[in-house]
Amino acid sequence: MGDLAAAIGAELIGDPAAVVSRIASVEHAGPQSITFITGKKYLPLLAQSEPAAVVLPLDLRDQVSTIQLLSENPYLAYARLTQLWADALMPASDGVVHPSATIAENAQVDRSASIGPGVVVQESAVVGARATIGAGAVIGHASIVGEKTSVHPNATIMHGVTIGSDCEIHSGAVIGADGFGWAPSSDGWVKIHQLGGVQIGNRVSIGACTTVDRGALDNTIIADGVILDNQIQVAHNVVIGENTAIAGCTGIAGSTTIGRNCRIGGAVSIVGHISICDDVLVTANSFVNRSIKHSGSYSSGYPLEDSKTWRKNAVRLHRLDQFARNVIQKS
Amino acid sequence: MGDLAAAIGAELIGDPAAVVSRIASVEHAGPQSITFITGKKYLPLLAQSEPAAVVLPLDLRDQVSTIQLLSENPYLAYARLTQLWADALMPASDGVVHPSATIAENAQVDRSASIGPGVVVQESAVVGARATIGAGAVIGHASIVGEKTSVHPNATIMHGVTIGSDCEIHSGAVIGADGFGWAPSSDGWVKIHQLGGVQIGNRVSIGACTTVDRGALDNTIIADGVILDNQIQVAHNVVIGENTAIAGCTGIAGSTTIGRNCRIGGAVSIVGHISICDDVLVTANSFVNRSIKHSGSYSSGYPLEDSKTWRKNAVRLHRLDQFARNVIQKS
Amino acid sequence: MGDLAAAIGAELIGDPAAVVSRIASVEHAGPQSITFITGKKYLPLLAQSEPAAVVLPLDLRDQVSTIQLLSENPYLAYARLTQLWADALMPASDGVVHPSATIAENAQVDRSASIGPGVVVQESAVVGARATIGAGAVIGHASIVGEKTSVHPNATIMHGVTIGSDCEIHSGAVIGADGFGWAPSSDGWVKIHQLGGVQIGNRVSIGACTTVDRGALDNTIIADGVILDNQIQVAHNVVIGENTAIAGCTGIAGSTTIGRNCRIGGAVSIVGHISICDDVLVTANSFVNRSIKHSGSYSSGYPLEDSKTWRKNAVRLHRLDQFARNVIQKS
């Protein structure tokens, strides 16, 4: 327990020699568990689950009967605890190249990188030290995977993509597919070949089945510390600033710029060629149909109703302008 | 024809020795076809397409000139018919392990399971009897694929995922990627390693490019009989109850619980940490921004208009509260 | 430069022997670059970036100091220029079959087709002349890939799918997964096996992680010249007409028909069993909840507001029908 407290920077009240076998939610903790709570309202749950130890905020000192790990920020301490368990559970990157992998002769794969079964590393690609490429993943021509970056199974990195260090690219993600650029002609759509690439910074996480398209001429850019959830679409020439977080199923159309430290909710749709400044919060399911120039919280979306009420309101909504004109005229 | 009638529990009126070569829609049936209709309104189409045989409801007895298969539930009978054709068309699971597959030494693959080219079955994974793993699919460390479950080509099952029997996981699906858990810190986002797994019941279908994230500490749970269409996002620690059906492109944020026998339409977005009770219907494109405590039908969403009307109404919508205040004040 | 001008059908004013090394956006052009502008407003940017040559509209003749390539349609000329660079950058389809590929004995792979590492071509499949199948892609049983069509890495083509010539199927796309067809029964959902296929015309582009389901009995159909962006869901028995363009994250439910030359924005949701006529424009984030019978522009969606205003308006929206009734009653 002393080790755990030190690792997360918490003050330990209790036996430093005590051990726990797992980290658990407060609802499902038990005598072998360490858990965490972020406030007073979880004390009753804690009393029920009787864990061996709990990470808790400073102001709850001595409110519990278990071993205490007092922390200024229990949620962050919990994040750090999960790192310890993950390190124990996950096999370390071990520098093994599976014999079924196909690695181009002039690709540069660091000796300490791990390459899984069926992986393909194409010509001139670079895989950095202690990077891990999961089974079936493809690293395209001249693409770069930075140190300690993990590309999960069946992810696809196309050509000319640069990924920094300490990143995670989850399964099914596709980085560097062609942006959707077409010129109309009398013979139908003429493809604008996408000659730019994708540039991803350090400590970036990209979720499962998220797609980040390559730029038309310039690069699509994702800055350091950005975290993207699953099934996000990032179109060509989008720029996402440092430490911005985006939840699942959000789509960002071409050439839009998003600032730093933004938090974009899930299922948001963001039109192209706009600019969102730093420190913007967009709530889930919003339609961002214009630039945002001032930091703050933004929303849109039609909230849930019973279907009968919705049908009536929707009819009124359809005539809203006419209704308002009538009312104003009469008043 | 006698065999078909028996297989679907229909009463046969016509030659039991007659044969058909295909099952067809009523629009495209022909003399070699069996088709089905669910009501009287399809009789004219039936007269045009002249199939050899038709499955039809009891109250349409003798309304047609073809062979009749009278059924209490023609749509269900049609579903059962398709099973017969599918069995004939699809190669049976044949217990062949393709030599290009990579199977960990301590993985347990049943002798009757079929393992396609390039498949990877990692350490301690289990593949049950008559299961089929399609080309390029990955079964992660210690994951379990139940009997007769089919994992389609290029699907990815990460570590610690349990899938029951008679399930189908379509191509491009990713089960058990990390949930989107992050703690803010002065140095940016700190990852909360996702230590839970995914637990999937029996007779579950998961669509192409659908993602089901692993839990943070506890499991993400999908109960028996759940059917999920394509491109659905199921975030960490979501629980979906028995026989619930969810249409494509719907997203469910973290820790939300959905009851049994619900039907959720396509492109619905459901926020996190809410609860939806049993027997709820949510229509397509709705935004579920709160818990639902009573069974029934729920909706939201802005219905389609011509763009000019929409622009005018949208301006009014933006000022709706102020407009309502003005009207109430004056009245 | 003379060659470039001829290739794009532009009038050259300047040294035909001049050469450029890259094609660049007007913002990032430099002395080695050719760029393009579509109108007068870009002249100041052009003056700053000082490219070697510029493609520009006829009415800007002699407004610039660089080499001029005068074009009736500079955007289309730019698209054609990118083709030249793409040809130079991309390795040509070279008729190589990687030894790690698995090709069924009775599959027909043209000698000039290229088959990447880990590719699987199943029984009775056909791969046409100069087609390219990227690493890890799967071509299912009896499916056909037309001449010069490119299937990118880790894309999945299921059985019974026909793809025409000059198509592009991007990574992570899944063509021919089962449509979402289920009959309710007292024992839960009974699968309607999807016995139809997918029929894709010529010059079709399908984006990364886009899914096109196979038909229930008849085929799902995508006509010549259709372009689909990333993460689009096309359900079973959808029909999409010639040269229609659809942006990312849009979902189309089952049996809907979309006409020719339509332009559908991103994140649109389209319900099933409706019909959209030719030459329809639908703006981003719309909910198409009914058929469209007249060409024109259509929209819906709740535009962005600050969250405080949205919360107030949303409450009014919830009571809109009652409010309108009250006002009408009083007037």
Residue C314 lies in a domain: no
CA A282 to chain centre: 16
Mean pLDDT along residues B41-45: 92
Strands A263-264 and C132-133: unpaired
C148 and C288 housed in the same domain: yes
C112 and C259 housed in the same domain: yes
**pLDDT at position A91:** 62
| Cβ burial A28-43 (10 Å sphere, 16+ → b, else e) | bbeeebbbbbbeeebe
**pLDDT at position A92:** 59
Mutant choice from B231, B233, B313, B325 vs C, greatest count of C C-beta within 10 A? B231
User: Could you say which of B193, B236, B294, B318 is catalytic?
Assistant: B236
In the predicted model, residues of chain A with pLDDT beneath 70 are 90-93, 331
The confidence band for B327, taking pLDDT boundaries of 50, 70 and 90, is confident
Q: Please name the residues in contact with C96: beta carbons below 8 A apart, sequence gap of 6 or more.
A: C114, C115
* % of chain C residues with pLDDT over 90: 90
Chains in contact with B, where contact means 3 or more Cβ–Cβ distances below 8 Å, are A, C
- The answer on pLDDT for C94 being more than 80 is no
Residue B27 lies in a domain: yes
Residue A154 lies in a domain: yes
Residue B48 lies in a domain: yes
A150 and A30 housed in the same domain: no
Given 3-state DSSP classes, what are the helix, strand and coil percentages for chain B, each rounded to the nearest 5? 20, 30, 55
Q: Taking a C-beta distance cutoff of 8 angstroms, is the pair A218, A200 a contact?
A: no
Which of left, alpha, beta for A130 (phi over 0: left; psi -120 to 50: alpha)?
A: left
**pLDDT at position C92:** 59
Q: In angstroms, rounded to a whole number, what is the distance separating the alpha carbons of residues C11 and A264?
A: 47
A85 and A230 housed in the same domain: no
HSE, side-chain direction, 13 A CA sphere, residue A23 = 25
Burial (CB count within 10 angstroms: exposed 0-12, middle 13-18, buried 19+), residue C175: buried
Residue C316 lies in a domain: no
Mutant choice from B156, B158, B282, B316 vs A, greatest count of A C-beta within 10 A? B156
Mean pLDDT along residues C262-285: 98
User: Of A63, A89, A115, which residue sits at a domain end?
Assistant: A89
Could you give the 3-state DSSP secondary structure of residue B8? helix
Q: How far is C17 from chain A (nearest CA, A)?
A: 24
Mean pLDDT along residues C215-238: 98
Task: Encode pLDDT of B242-278 as tens digits.
Answer: 999 999 999 999 999 999 999 999 999 999 999 999 9
Q: Which helix (H) or strand (E) holds B89?
A: helix B74-89
**pLDDT at position A327:** 87
- The answer on pLDDT for B91 being more than 90 is no
Answer whether C304 sits within 8 Å of A283, measured CB to CB.
Answer: no
Q: Which helix (H) or strand (E) holds B307?
A: helix B307-318
Residue C96 lies in a domain: no
Structure token digits, residue C58: 């006829």
Chains in contact with C, where contact means 3 or more Cβ–Cβ distances below 8 Å, are A, B
- The answer on pLDDT for B114 being more than 90 is yes
C61 and C113 housed in the same domain: no
Q: In angstroms, rounded to a whole number, what is the distance separating the alpha carbons of residues A158 and A162?
A: 10
A147 and A183 housed in the same domain: yes
Structure token digits, residue B67: 């062979």
Predicted ipTM > 0.90:
yes
Lowest mean pLDDT among A234-238, B7-11, B229-233, C238-242: B7-11
Q: pLDDT averaged over chain C?
A: 95
The confidence band for C330, taking pLDDT boundaries of 50, 70 and 90, is confident
**pLDDT at position C90:** 67
Report which of A207, A156, B138, B154 is spatially closest to residue C152, judged by C-alpha positions: A156
Minimal Cβ distance to C287: which of B73, B229, B302? B302
Q: How far is A290 from chain B (nearest CA, A)?
A: 13
**pLDDT at position B305:** 95
Q: Taking a C-beta distance cutoff of 8 angstroms, is the pair B197, B219 a contact?
A: yes
Q: Taking a C-beta distance cutoff of 8 angstroms, is the pair C260, C242 a contact?
A: yes
A294 and A156 housed in the same domain: yes
Q: In angstroms, rounded to a whole number, what is the distance separating the alpha carbons of residues C158 and C151?
A: 13
Could you give the 3-state DSSP secondary structure of residue C80? helix
Q: In angstroms, rounded to a whole number, what is the distance separating the alpha carbons of residues B79 and B86?
A: 11
How many residues belong to chain B?
331
Minimal Cβ distance to C154: which of B27, B154, B318? B154
**pLDDT at position A95:** 78
Answer whether C247 sits within 8 Å of A253, measured CB to CB.
Answer: yes
- The answer on pLDDT for C60 being more than 70 is yes
Residue A184 lies in a domain: yes
Task: Encode pLDDT of A222-251 as tens digits.
Answer: 999 999 999 999 999 999 999 999 999 999
C24 and C106 housed in the same domain: no
Residue A54: give the domain boundaries. Answer: 2-89
A82 and A130 housed in the same domain: no
Q: In angstroms, rounded to a whole number, what is the distance separating the alpha carbons of residues B248 and B265?
A: 8
Q: pLDDT averaged over chain B?
A: 95
A139 and A178 housed in the same domain: yes
Minimal Cβ distance to C251: which of B78, B205, B266? B266
Mean pLDDT along residues B154-183: 98
Mean pLDDT along residues C238-249: 98
Residue B12 lies in a domain: yes
The confidence band for C91, taking pLDDT boundaries of 50, 70 and 90, is low
Q: In angstroms, rounded to a whole number, what is the distance separating the alpha carbons of residues A53 and B25?
A: 63
> Which domain CATH number covers C76?
3.40.1390.10
A135 and A282 housed in the same domain: yes
Q: Taking a C-beta distance cutoff of 8 angstroms, is the pair B226, B204 a contact?
A: yes
> What is the total count of domains within chain A?
2
Answer whether A248 sits within 8 Å of B180, measured CB to CB.
Answer: yes
Answer whether A284 sits within 8 Å of B313, measured CB to CB.
Answer: no
> Which domain CATH number covers A125?
2.160.10.10
Could you give the 3-state DSSP secondary structure of residue C88? helix
- The answer on pLDDT for C241 being more than 90 is yes
**pLDDT at position C117:** 97
Q: Which helix (H) or strand (E) holds A45?
A: helix A43-49
pTM of the model: 0.96
A77 and A117 housed in the same domain: no
